[in-house]
Amino acid sequence: MSRIPDAFGNGKAFIAFITCGDPDLETTGAVVRAAVENGADLIELGIPFSDPTAEGPVIQGANLRALRSGITTDRIFDFVRKLREDIAVPMVFMTYANVVFSYGAERFLSLCRDVGIDGLILPDLPFEEKDEFLPICRSCGVNLISLIAPTSENRIAMIAREAEGFLYLVSSLGVTGTRTEITTDLGAMVRLVRENTEIPCAIGFGISAPEQAKKMAELSDGAIVGSAIIKLLEKYGRDAPPYVGEYVKAMKDAMR
């Protein structure tokens, strides 16, 4: 049974993205704990990919640092299994289709179920290709998360109707990364989503400041933050956990 509804059960959700193994798994574990202790409602764990085509420079850097440290999908599964011993919030994987395909989708998803992963986000798997993994996700009780972009327009209803877990609203054109301004008419997108599904929707891409998080929380059910957290890891490395904790607290407080 997916834990994802828990994330949206107590006010607006703050979703933190962290690349596994950047710079090592010990730090990732400490960062996850710091984020959860300070109010993160859902943890998005990135499995690094050599060529992350949906990422901006900051998360690309995290992927490279993690791969250079020798991280593998197997080691990440072991890590999550341990993490689950004391982390109760929902956790989802964010990676690229080839990481799942190459590992063997059935093997990958049954391990997700076994170690306590609740969902899977694949930015290079649009609605048209979701059958690649959806039947296996369902049989393993892992939610395959759908994304909606500012260019989705006529596709929003179709995607929302079949969405599971939560909907990931991409705030802006382009790749991941912090932005000073988000110009998309997110209110209109959210309205269209609400007309077509009961599941919560959270906004990601470009969110870094508490005021932005507050605004996104007013518009939707939560905010997803990646690059701003990764920047702290880039800056402080193994010393990053307390800084991430402090940052998550400020963001979550702004959303209350």
Partner 1 sequence: MTNPNGRFGIHGGQYIPETLMNAVIELEQAYNHFKADPDFNRELTALLNDYAGRPSRLYYAEKMTRDLGGAKIYLKREDLNHTGAHKINNVLGQALLAKKMGKTRLIAETGAGQHGVATATAAALLDMECVVFMGEEDTIRQALNVYRMRLLGAEVIPVKTGTATLKDAVSEAMREWTSRIDDTHYCLGSVMGPHPFPTIVRDFQAVISREIRQQLLEKEGRLPDAVLACVGGGSNAIGSFYHFIEDKSVRLIGCEAAGKGIDGFETAATINTGRVGIFHGMKSYFCQDEYGQIAPVYSISAGLDYPGVGPEHAWLHDIGRAEYVPVTDEEAVCAFEYLSKTEGIIPAIESAHAVAHAQKLAPTMGKEQILVITISGRGDKDCAAIARYRGENIYE
Give the residues lining the site for partner 1 (CB under 8 A).
Answer: 49-51, 53-54, 56, 60, 67, 72-74, 96-103, 123-129, 132, 147-155, 159, 170, 173-175
Q: How far is the CB of 39 from partner 1 (least distance, A)?
A: 29
CB-nearer residue toward partner 1: 56 or 241: 56
| Amino acid letter, residue 145 | I
Q: Which of 249, 217, 218, 220 is nearest to 232 (CA)?
A: 249
Q: How far is the CB of 244 from partner 1 (least distance, A)?
A: 25
Q: Which residue has the tokens 């730090």?
A: 27
Q: How far is the CB of 177 from partner 1 (least distance, A)?
A: 10
User: For the chain, what is the largest distance between any 2 Cα atoms, rounded to a whole number of angstroms?
Assistant: 45
Q: How far is the CB of 215 from partner 1 (least distance, A)?
A: 21
Q: How far apart are CA 3 and CA 18, in angstroms?
A: 19
| Amino acid letter, residue 236 | Y
- The answer for residues whose C-beta is within 8 angstroms of residue 195's C-beta and 6 or more apart is 157, 160
- The answer for residues whose C-beta is within 8 angstroms of residue 154's C-beta and 6 or more apart is none
Q: How far is the CB of 70 from partner 1 (least distance, A)?
A: 11
Distance from CA of residue 176 to its chain's centroid? 12
- The answer for residues whose C-beta is within 8 angstroms of residue 100's C-beta and 6 or more apart is 108, 109, 120, 122, 133
Number of DSSP helices (H) and strands (E) in the chain, helices first: 12, 8
Q: How far is the CB of 96 from partner 1 (least distance, A)?
A: 8
| Amino acid letter, residue 202 | A
CB-nearer residue toward partner 1: 90 or 177: 177
* DSSP single-letter state for residue 20: T
CB-nearer residue toward partner 1: 25 or 254: 25
Per-residue tokens: 63: 């992927």
CB-nearer residue toward partner 1: 13 or 169: 169
CB-nearer residue toward partner 1: 19 or 73: 73
Q: How many residues does the chain have?
A: 256
Q: How far is the CB of 208 from partner 1 (least distance, A)?
A: 18
CB-nearer residue toward partner 1: 147 or 193: 147
CB-nearer residue toward partner 1: 14 or 108: 108
Determine contact, residues 85/115, Cβ cutoff 8 Å: no
